Amino acid sequence: MKTWLLGLNESYLAAWANKGLVRRGLKCLGDQDPSRWQWQDHQISGDIDGHQLLLTGEDVTHLSCSCVAPGPCFHQVAFLLGLKTWLESQGEESTPEAQPEPWEIDQQTFESHFGLAVRRKAYEWQVDGLSCEIDKHRDGVDALLYEKELRRMVVPLGSIKASRCSCKVDLCSHLASLMVQLNPALQLPEPTLEEVQCQAIQQCEDWLDGLMISGVAGLAESQMQQGQALVNELKQADLPRLSSMLAGLQAWLQMERHPQRMRPQGDYVRRLQQLSLLMAGLRQEKPPVARLKLMGRHRRNYYVAPKMSLLCLGVALWRSPQGMEGYRSYFYHQQQRRLVTLAEGRNASDFWSAKQGLSEAKLAQHGLMSLAGQHITLTNALLSPDGQLRGAPTTLLESEGQWGWSQLAPLLQTVEYWQQQLGRLQGQWWSDQGVTLACIGVSQLTPWTADPLNQHYQAQCVDHQGGDFCSG
């Protein structure tokens, strides 16, 4: 128990109890004499203000107090701090180098401590790009994770079971996510296709085969009804992305049956191609992207982000072959070290255009265009796990001035990082074997020209020195 006690600090106790109890415990400790407490081989007992305390193992779950508090109390905090203080006064020192750190675990230990549901939630956060801010020190590890709200985690020296998170759940998904980040070799459970999902995909393929045979002109009403029922079956089989794409094709077919609202034939071919590619990706044993992204999610959950430090990188206008257009503003989230976007898109009409929407768009009562190049702090904004940003009536914005290139260093990463990414990309069936990676600052970008059939997109770019080059 000595190693664990010596590794205790106020951050750990605050995560287990709260900061108020830590303050009261420190005040109470001033009137105590830990040398009078009873030290035995496997347990330590003592008296504080007439209450009996007993510690029988390396974890706060093995600590008890005779007071009436339903949870952690300041007597327990004072008891733990007193034990650490007494050990230090006796010349005891923690020796982390004599044993592996508690967070250095293998796959079997990881799975024995964290349940399947916990690991699956950590996998979702990994796919969404959420990562922890980690601070290693001589007493253990402190970490922060921005998930719906700020989570604080502490992993002390000793047992991994003694780790604590501010969510107050033992060995939670936040801690599982931290363990994976501390041990890159650990594997999280990627979802696999269940039998009902494979059957739903096969039914979708059979329906598309029937559509190809009959053609749009020969499509029967019964086929349309079967396709509409299949949309619901795919959604119930937890394949919302495939369901949404099939629903889009269904809507196109409905419009096609009205001659006055004909759709271009290329749109039909593009939709069929996207459905075929998605189903082929889902069936692969190792898809080119995370399977969870291919399967999709039923809805986007926004949560209140208490405070975000954002760098506004720029704004892009876009237009799709189907007549949709909109804008997308890009921000670099400094705490989460990823890009987040604020976007809007609609059907093009005489009443709304992307340029008009962008000129009128506001974030916390500030014009969106005026934020370009600014370093801002947002309070109480709405953010989804996949990085979609929204303002709320209570959102506050404070400008910190223009941002500098040095602030983008974590986004640009290092040359070694990009070399690793290049090595990972090469050898994939969908990648160009001759690809090279470069980081170029772009001041102007023309609208994209798209060739969906060949999966090719190209735009003319101008760098900060005025040089022209193509991006594709």
Same domain, 209 and 270: yes
Q: Would you say residue 115 has pLDDT above 50?
A: yes
DSSP 69: -
Angstrom distance (rounded) from CA 391 to CA 383: 9
More confident residue, 241 or 440: 241
| Residue range 82-96: mean pLDDT, rounded | 72
Instruction: Note whether 204 and 230 are within 8 A (CB).
Output: yes
| Residue range 103-131: mean pLDDT, rounded | 84
Range of lowest pLDDT (77-91, 193-207, 293-307): 293-307
Residue 381 belongs to a domain: yes
Tokens 């079967």 found at = 226
Instruction: Note whether 189 and 120 are within 8 A (CB).
Output: yes
Q: Would you say residue 216 has pLDDT above 70?
A: yes
Same domain, 154 and 73: no
DSSP H or E segment with residue 363: strand 362-363
What are φ and ψ of residue 469, in 5° steps? -160, 160
Q: Kindly report, residue by residue over 387-425, the tens digit of the pLDDT.
A: 888 887 788 899 888 888 777 766 665 555 566 666 655
More confident residue, 455 or 139: 139
Rounded to the nearest 10°, the torsion over CA 288, 294, 299, 301 is: -10
Range of lowest pLDDT (45-54, 135-144, 175-184): 135-144
Residue 111 belongs to a domain: yes
Same domain, 128 and 215: no
Give the residue from 93, 88, 64 showing the smallest Cα distance to 3: 93
Same domain, 290 and 314: no
Same domain, 288 and 315: no
Angstrom distance (rounded) from CA 369 to CA 329: 9
pLDDT for position 61 = 77
pLDDT for position 437 = 59
Q: Would you say residue 443 has pLDDT above 60?
A: yes
Residue 133 belongs to a domain: yes
Angstrom distance (rounded) from CA 250 to CA 232: 12
DSSP H or E segment with residue 6: helix 2-6
pLDDT for position 430 = 46
Q: What is the largest CA-CA distance in the chain?
A: 93
Residue 101 belongs to a domain: no
Same domain, 338 and 429: no
Rounded to the nearest 10°, the torsion over CA 438, 444, 450, 454 is: -20
Residue 376 belongs to a domain: yes
pLDDT for position 281 = 86
Residue 9 belongs to a domain: yes
Domain boundary among 70, 94, 118: 94
Q: Residues 232, 234, 241, CA angle at the centre, nearest 5°?
A: 110
Range of lowest pLDDT (201-215, 272-286, 339-353, 386-400): 339-353
Q: Would you say residue 358 has pLDDT above 80?
A: yes
Instruction: Note whether 372 and 312 are within 8 A (CB).
Output: yes
Count of residues in the chain: 472
Range of lowest pLDDT (63-77, 242-256, 261-275, 371-385): 261-275
Across the chain, mean pLDDT equals 78
How many structural domains is the chain composed of?
5
Using pLDDT thresholds of 50, 70 and 90, give the confidence band for residue 101.
low
Range of lowest pLDDT (132-141, 279-288, 299-308): 299-308
CATH of the domain at 311: 2.40.50
Give the SS3 label for residue 331: strand
| Residue range 28-51: mean pLDDT, rounded | 83
Percent of the chain predicted with pLDDT > 70: 80
| Residue range 198-202: mean pLDDT, rounded | 89
Pair type for strands 51-55 and 366-367: unpaired
Domain boundary among 350, 383, 403: 403
Give the residue from 197, 141, 139, 143 showing the smallest Cα distance to 6: 139
3-class SS shares of the chain: helix, strand, coil, % to 5: 40, 25, 35
Same domain, 461 and 398: no
pLDDT for position 429 = 45
Same domain, 316 and 291: no
| Residue range 268-273: mean pLDDT, rounded | 80
DSSP 170: T
Same domain, 128 and 144: yes
Strand intervals (E) in 320-353: 324-333, 338-347
Residue 189 belongs to a domain: no
CA 32 to chain centre: 46
Residue 56 belongs to a domain: yes
DSSP 167: T
Same domain, 414 and 398: no
Give the residue from 322, 306, 366 showing the smallest Cα distance to 342: 366
Same domain, 284 and 247: yes
Angstrom distance (rounded) from CA 11 to CA 235: 44
Question: Concatenated DSSP letters for 220-232?
Answer: -HHHHHHHHHHHH
pTM, two decimal places:
0.53
Domain containing 43 equals 2-94
Same domain, 347 and 313: yes
Angstrom distance (rounded) from CA 424 to CA 416: 12
Domain boundary among 403, 418, 439: 403
Range of lowest pLDDT (34-38, 43-47, 349-353, 395-399): 349-353
